[in-house]
Amino acid sequence: MAIQTINPATDEVIKTFQAHSAAQVEEKLKAADKAFDNWKRTSFEERAKHMLRCAEILEQDAEKYGRIITLEMGKPLKDATAEVQKCAKVCRYYADNAADFLKDEEVVSGASRSLIAYEPLGVVLAVMPWNFPFWQVFRFLAPALMAGNVGVLKHASNVPQCALAIEEIIHRAGFPKDVFHTLLVESKAVDAIIENSIVKAVTLTGSEGAGSKVAEKAGSEIKKTVLELGGSDPFIILDDADLEEAASVAVKSRMVNTGQSCIAAKRFIVLESIADAFLGKMKEKMESLRTGDPLTDTCDYGPLARKDLAEELEQQVRESVEKGAKVVLEGGREGKDSAYFKPMIIQNPKPGSPAYEDELFGPVAIVFVVKDEEEAIRIANDHRYGLAGTVFTGDKERGLRVARQVETGAMFVNAMVASTPEMPFGGIKKSGYGRELSYIGIREFTNQKSIWIS
């Protein structure tokens, strides 16, 4: 089976790779397992030396690696370059803080001494998506390696060059050869990898369906998982909000990565007293966005990552409109053979329609007009996903009160949702479980061992 890089902007096949065979995968897993025996004994200082070199490479060659991202999944080059640079930050964060996060924790008890030790698990399998093909790997990889684990990556099949480039960066940074491997395999190969006794844990960022399958398989093998899945993030605009700022942030949040982000704002919940004013500003700002060749500086948003994704989004919008949603801003797919999708705004979709029930992974803003704060919170929580959300208000205490009532893993007041190394990242409900980033994230794949000395 061949794995291909297809440029979504041109539909050109850029490069073809032969998938790794089952025997090759087994060989790489055994090599990783052997590498773990030595890597787990290295000092934090030794690990940090390589991780800081990794950060330097990412910063020095950000545009080179950003160009690979753009060619494989269509993100504008300026955004792809920024993604690579962000990866350097997470490398530096864990290089600087891992030793402190994982130091023995003394506990007062009936023993003469008792403590909690944080010890690495071994080979961790990462199943990663295409939408942030560098960042989502490095936010797993930096803490995993700094904790003393080793990693194997099953990346999305449409970003093989990104997957191989990450392996190259790890090698350039001086890490031992086998502490990280990219596995070029199809999704159907994942079950066998999870079943392999060498693999001790699994982390997945992806769809609800993929997460369910991986969790089921890992559960049958009694292996730890962390899942970061879909999101349909609410963005609440209260009647005391700065509407100009709220509209600017709303459009930026909806259009980040051409709307292909799990933490992009998707459902805009606005009080009726300010709805017309807010919608007017939001519509104006979305209409001003420019598209085109994502390799140029003038491109604000690129194509969706694949043509079938544009087709699926088109069908979700069509069905939602047929079931009662109002189109506020016309847009949509540029043609049946195109991955480009012009931004749209639809209003008040009905329960049972895709825009109400599902995640629309692309540049379509869904607006709900509600009578008051209480109804805004009710609509925000009326969804199976609970990843993140935003509330805009002129009163920070009011914002905090609302943030506490919205059922998500994170809430941002007067700001766009974003992942940052210092704060834990992950969701609740069907958005998954477990956390990445922060001190919490690095401890997810450790044995939190209790030691009691009498």
At position 188, the amino acid (one-letter code) is K
The secondary structure of residue 247, as a DSSP letter, is H
Q: DSSP letters along 79-124, please?
A: HHHHHHHHHHHHHHHHHHHHHHHTS-EEE-SSSSEEEEEEEE-SEE
Respond yes or no: is residue 87 known to be catalytic.
no
Please choose, from the candidates 359, 368, 364, 311, the residue with its C-alpha nearest in 3D space to the C-alpha of residue 334.
311
Is residue 151 classed as helix, strand or coil in its secondary structure? Answer: strand
Which residues are paired to 429 by β-bridges?
385
Copy the structure tokens of residue 203. 């982390």
As separate numbers, helices (DSSP H) first and strands (DSSP E) second, the chain gives 15, 22
Respond yes or no: is residue 262 known to be catalytic.
yes
Long-range pairs, 324-331, Cβ under 8 A, ≥24: 324/348, 324/349, 324/350, 324/353, 325/349, 325/350, 325/353, 325/355, 325/366, 328/279, 328/283, 328/367, 329/283, 329/286, 329/287, 329/365, 331/363, 331/364
> In angstroms, rounded to a whole number, what is the distance separating the alpha carbons of residues 386 and 229?
10
Which residues are paired to 344 by β-bridges?
364
Q: 107 to each of 118, 382, 444, how far by Cα in Å?
A: 14, 41, 20
Q: Is residue 398 exposed (0-12), middle (13-18) or buried (19+ Cβ within 10 Å)? A: middle
Phi, psi of 80 (to 5 degrees): -65, -40
Catalytic residue among 87, 91, 162, 262: 262
Q: 360 to each of 197, 212, 261, how far by Cα in Å?
A: 37, 19, 10
For residues 216 and 191, is the Cβ–Cβ distance under 8 A? no
> In angstroms, rounded to a whole number, what is the distance separating the alpha carbons of residues 113 and 451?
8
For residues 125 and 194, is the Cβ–Cβ distance under 8 A? yes
Catalytic residue among 72, 83, 208, 228: 228
Helix (H) or strand (E) holding 284: helix 275-287
CB atoms within 10 A of CB 34: 13
Catalytic amino acids? 228, 262
